Amino acid sequence: MSRLVVVSNRVADPRKTSAGGLAVALAEVLNNTGGLWFGWSGKIIEPSGEGTHRDPPLHTHQAGPVKLVTLDLNREDHDAYYLGYSNGVLWPVFHYRLDLADFDAGYIAGYRRVNQLFARKLAPLLREDDIIWVHDYHLIPLAAELRALGCNQRIGFFLHIPLPPPLILAAIPGHDWLIRALFAYDLVGFQSNADHSHFCSYVQTEAHAQNLGEGRWRAFNRTVQAGAFPIGIDVEEFTALTNAPEGRDMYERMRREYSRRKLLVGVDRLDYSKGLPQRMRAFRELLTRNPETHRSATLIQIASPSREDVSAYGDILHELESLCGSINGNFGELDWMPVRYMHRTVARARLPGLYRASRVALVTPLRDGMNLVAKEFVVAQDPQDPGVLVLSRFAGAAEQMPEALLVNPYDTEATASAIHLALQMPLEERRERHEALIKTMRRFDVHWWCDTFLETLAKAQAEETGTPWLRL
């Protein structure tokens, strides 16, 4: 059987738990299949440090069935590739936030340099029959760089974040280069049908690609297969976590602490794509319009720290803190605090208990590739007395979860009404909606995602014309 080689910006010990959708999903995949996981170590070599100008050495570490191979980045590369192009250009634009993008011309060179470095260090480790699975926006040109070094293995790519429509994508200087780079893969996967359809419109209108049918496109002397592969969660693992002592303990404690209240919960990385200020405004609107919710509704919002060295993240932190402060200041009572906000990461083992003790989950991103919190919330519920999911229609998850209460997070009043509806929803309706949602979660879990992607990759026809792949 072929060995699986996963490449992503960051690598984590798959036996340990972490915050962040990609790390959680990949750890689950690799724990099952074994193989190699390659990426950045998270360490930065400062300019004064030795060996700044040499290729950094590789660090190898065996973690159960998975071999982790990482490299450090020098400060200049890190700042241009990670802070600059990946998180200052691609992340905002792919989340439709042109206003937050910083199109500094220097960034793209650093992005390219690091992708070349990854290819140079990874290529000698590869076996002929390896299957390579590259993840996310940091590494779009990696396959093109590997091909330029003579790698002919099957290579698949999965984009964890949304792909915007062609006209938004076209705002990125070098967008044509990026999309052309996708043609070096055999399979390109997206989270949703919407993202996949944006890819199809782009390659048709901007790259004049030929539609070969069944998701296959031909351009630049290469054929690429593309499709939607919505990521799922490990339902069994999350159910076990819910029933484990720490999960139960958390559940009991929350129930005791909030016995007289209905809990609402939000769990997000602190990111401007997650719509946290809009959520707070909707919650404030709920309290303003519905006095009977005072003293009874408490929102626990966990915002785990994320990318604190990117400037837009500092702004969102201040906005959120000020909104939470003013809601508590205006509505709070001596014995009731409407919002409990934590800018901290909570241990993963405690999340299911918190979800289960909550009557409503607020998952209201302005734009999200998928959103795994929505799925975790559904799985953690007691089927006899389940909570209600309020979900943004702009999360990729909305395509698969129509039984949630779908909202437009920009519409404060409508979102407040949906939250009100969720708080009052009768048991029978909660059960019905939950039953439909959990069925989908079980059917399209993380194993389905992984198996379907890898099976499609194995079958994808890598139709070369004999022209070797040229460096972009």
Residues of the shown chain interacting with ligand GDG in the complex, contacts defined by CB under 6 A: 17, 19-22, 24-25, 160-161, 231, 267, 269, 302, 304, 345-348, 351, 368-373, 376
Q: What angle do CA 311, 312, 318 make, to 5 degrees?
A: 100
255 Cβ contact list (under 8 Å, min separation 6) = 357
Number of residues assigned to the chain = 472
Type of residue found at 402: P
Instruction: Answer yes or no: are the C-beta atoms of 275 and 362 closer than 8 Å.
Output: no
Closest CB to ligand GDG among residues 41, 345 = 345
**Count of Cβ atoms closer than 10 Å to residue 21 Cβ:** 19
CB within 8 Å of 217: residues ≥ 6 apart: 183, 200, 203, 209, 210, 211, 223, 224, 225, 226
Is 420 known to be catalytic?
A: no
CB 91 → ligand GDG: shortest distance, Å?
9
**Residue 160 is among the residues annotated as catalytic for this protein:** yes
CB of 373 to ligand GDG, least distance (A): 4
CA–CA separation, 365 and 409 (whole Å): 7
Q: Which is nearer to ligand GDG, 186 or 368 (CB)?
A: 368
Catalytic residue among 95, 135, 138, 160: 160
Both structure tokens of 225:
């297969």
Question: Nearer Cβ to ligand GDG, position 194 or 212?
Answer: 194
The helix/strand/coil state of 280 is helix
- Closer to ligand GDG by CB, 45 or 441: give it: 441
Q: Which two tokens stand for residue 307?
A: 């990318």
Q: What CA–CA distances, in Å, run from 392 to 193, 371, 381, 388, 414?
A: 16, 10, 19, 13, 12
Beta-carbon count within 10 A of 468 CB: 11
Q: Which is nearer to ligand GDG, 285 or 376 (CB)?
A: 376
Check 136, 186, 195, 368 and give the catalytic one: 368
Q: Which residues contact 180 (CB under 8 A, 6 or more apart)?
A: 144, 207, 219, 220, 472
Q: Which residue is nearest to ligand GDG (CB)?
A: 21
Give the C-alpha distances (Å, rounded to integers) separating 99 from 102, 194, 271. Answer: 8, 22, 15
CB of 148 to ligand GDG, least distance (A): 28
DSSP structure class, residue 470: P
Residue closer to ligand GDG, measured from CB, 40 or 469: 40
Q: Rounded to the nearest whole angstrom, what is the least distance from the CB of residue 397 to ligand GDG in the complex?
A: 7
**Cβ neighbours of 414 (radius 10 Å):** 14
Which residues 6+ apart lie within 8 Å of 126 measured at CB? 5, 132, 151, 153
Rama region for 64: left / alpha / beta (φ>0; ψ in -120 to 50; rest): left
Q: At closest approach, how far in Å is the CB of 354 from ligand GDG?
A: 10
Collect all residues with Cβ–Cβ distance below 8 Å to 64 and sequence separation of at least 6.
14, 15, 31
Q: How far is the CB of 158 from ligand GDG (least distance, A)?
A: 8
| Closer of 27 and 179 to ligand GDG (Cβ) | 27
Q: Catalytic residues, which ones? A: 160, 368
